[in-house]
Amino acid sequence: MFTKLPSVAELQAKAAHPLDMAKTLTPERIQKMAATAVGFKLLFGTERVDESILKALFSLAREAKCMEKMAAMQSGEVINRIEGFESENRSVLHTAMRDQFGSPQTARPAQEAAAMAGRELQKLEKFLKSQEGKFTDLIQIGIGGSDLGPRALAIALQPFYRPGHRVHFISNVDPDDANAVLSGLDLKKTVVVVVSKSGSTLETLTNEAFVRTRMEKAGIDPKKHFVAVTGEKSPMDNPERYLASFYMWDFVGGRYSATSMVGGVSLGFALGFDGFKEILRGAHEMDHHALTAAPEKNLPLLAALLGVWNRNFLKYPTVAIIPYSQALLRFPAHLQQLDMESNGKRIDQKGSAVPFSTGPIIWGEPGTNGQHSFYQLIHQGTDIVPLEFIGFQHSQYGHDLNIQGTSSQQKLLSNLFAQSIALSVGQTSDNPNKVFPGNRPNRILLGDKCTPHSLGALLAYYEHKVAFQGFIWGINSFDQEGVQLGKKLATKMLHLFAGQKEDFPLGQSYLGFLTKM
């Protein structure tokens, strides 16, 4: 168990006397505490760690067998399980979806999964060619893992879209979501991709019916406009109803599925097949890095260890992820799901309640916008919020203007670096209202430019950071029992709405409020 690992006691002792960053942060430290891989630099001089703490964190990684567990995951061992109890009991092979570029996995389950993904990719390439010129707009209908990752990527990569191609998303069962997207679209030139691994998600099936009906009313044959992405043999696996059907499998979790066909159809439509493959290539390079790089140079492992230091030893309950990049507008929302659904767990892989904190609360917004909103609390509030900044040296469009000696991109980066230093070092003053205590841990992940390739790498960096943390805590990062109870009760509630008999007095009393309004 995590708390019994030998390095934990050492780290606890060190955490009792944390560094004072006002005295610690130097130009040399910023230079030294940096690691580079797959086009990204991780700058962590502003985290509250020194060489001896880092050394103990690397011991922790060794004791928790982080690298062995990453190898087990990527080779397809059954790691999604709770020993001795009914559980999903499967491999975790989202990495196989992008294992198409050399240095392949040699273990049989991983090879087989990569071959299955390869076949779907070939199908996608053919499909995109066959539909060339027919559609200007694509709507993706899906929710949770079948929405957040693909949507975050699609928003981030708009400058790379093929001319005349637009992508839209419908996820919420709120009819206003579908209506807002549908208004203004020429349905004759619209292709709809319905994405549901289970093929049985209420919101998605409802929205599919909603849009199908709209098409039928407009005299359009949905069969020529609807594409399915689903699990084999799911209720949606019915190629008769669709223009094309693509598959995903049990061994790809919803929140890890953006690089499967779950993201493939819409991103391939928008960017072209080669553009989607660039995302996969970037992700694959980060997979290989996570698997093979020494812990001291391994970006996702370093990020995971620094996160564990902040969470379990300095005891901070939340993490803000702040991209200084408008492209990454919805990336924090994807990471919220990725991290909190994976590591928001209270039992270990043997089914015992854990006596320590696991996944933190993840939230975030792009900078500089956040600076004009919640940064007050981050600088001077009573709770310390560690921050993960993401930035890119170059803008995507490259059109920029020099105003008063600096470009907009330079203004963006100035703010990023200034915040990192201000949060770390703080400010003294005779006026208590102008005191900044500093010691707010933060780090910067700096890339060159947000492109399909770098975004694929960034996506995988976070997937592996989350996985490494789960390995350290000994929890199962790949199931999501926590969302089941609400779904079950919502079904009971729906029965009440439909006037059916249902033994659910608590729900009945809520319903009572509606009729009285």
* Nearer to ligand G6Q (CB atom), residue 253 or residue 282: 253
CB of 338 to ligand G6Q, least distance (A): 8
* Nearer to ligand G6Q (CB atom), residue 142 or residue 268: 142
Query: Would you give the DSSP letter of residue 146?
Result: G
Q: In this chain, which stretch among 26-34, 193-201, 265-273, 396-404 interacts with ligand G6Q, using CB under 6 A?
A: 193-201
Q: Within 13 Å and on the Cβ side, how many CA atoms surround 98?
A: 26
**Is 487 one of the catalytic residues?**
yes
Q: Is 409 exposed, middle or buried (0-12, 13-18, 19+ CB in 10 A)?
A: middle
CB of 39 to ligand G6Q, least distance (A): 27
Which are the contacts of 211, defined by CB distance < 8 A and separation ≥ 6?
139, 141, 170, 178, 182, 192
Q: In this chain, which stretch among 106-114, 149-157, 192-200, 400-408 interacts with ligand G6Q, using CB under 6 A?
A: 192-200
**Is 394 one of the catalytic residues?**
no
User: What secondary structure does DSSP assign to 108-127, as a single string?
Assistant: HHHHHHHHHHHHHHHHHHHH
**Is 86 one of the catalytic residues?**
no
* Nearer to ligand G6Q (CB atom), residue 171 or residue 424: 171
* Nearer to ligand G6Q (CB atom), residue 197 or residue 281: 197
- Residue 201 is a binding residue for ligand G6Q (CB under 6 A): yes
Cα 324 to Cα 34, 131, 353, 371, 408: the distances in Å are: 19, 37, 38, 11, 12
Residue nearest ligand G6Q, Cβ-based: 144
CB of 459 to ligand G6Q, least distance (A): 14
Using CB under 6 A, which residues numbered 474 to 513 contact ligand G6Q? 480
- Residue 170 is a binding residue for ligand G6Q (CB under 6 A): no
CB of 91 to ligand G6Q, least distance (A): 15
- The pair of structure tokens assigned to 247 is 């598959």
Q: What is the rounded distance in angstroms from the CA atom of residue 333 to the CA atom of residue 363? A: 7
- The pair of structure tokens assigned to 211 is 């849009």
* Nearer to ligand G6Q (CB atom), residue 168 or residue 443: 168
Selected from 130, 198, 408, 414, the binder of ligand G6Q by CB under 6 A is 198
Q: What are phi and psi of 403, to 5 degrees?
A: -120, 125
Selected from 95, 146, 420, 477, the binder of ligand G6Q by CB under 6 A is 146
Query: Would you give the DSSP letter of residue 352?
Result: P
The kind and range of the H/E element at 80 are strand 78-80
* Nearer to ligand G6Q (CB atom), residue 95 or residue 419: 95
For the chain, the residue count is: 517
CB of 443 to ligand G6Q, least distance (A): 26
Binding mask 333-362 for ligand G6Q (x = CB under 6 A): --------x---------------------
Cα 224 to Cα 187, 203, 207, 219, 243: the distances in Å are: 11, 22, 18, 12, 5
Q: Tell whether the torsion through CA atoms of 84, 89, 151 and 301 is positive or negative.
A: positive
Using CB under 6 A, which residues numbered 246 to 305 contact ligand G6Q? 253-255
Number of Cβ within 10 Å of residue 378's Cβ equals 21
CB of 480 to ligand G6Q, least distance (A): 5
Q: In this chain, which stretch among 143-151, 181-189, 305-313, 402-410 interacts with ligand G6Q, using CB under 6 A?
A: 143-151
Query: Which positions are catalytic?
Result: 341, 372, 487
- Judged by the rule CB under 6 A, the positions of this chain that interact with ligand G6Q are 143-146, 196-198, 201, 204, 253-255, 341, 480
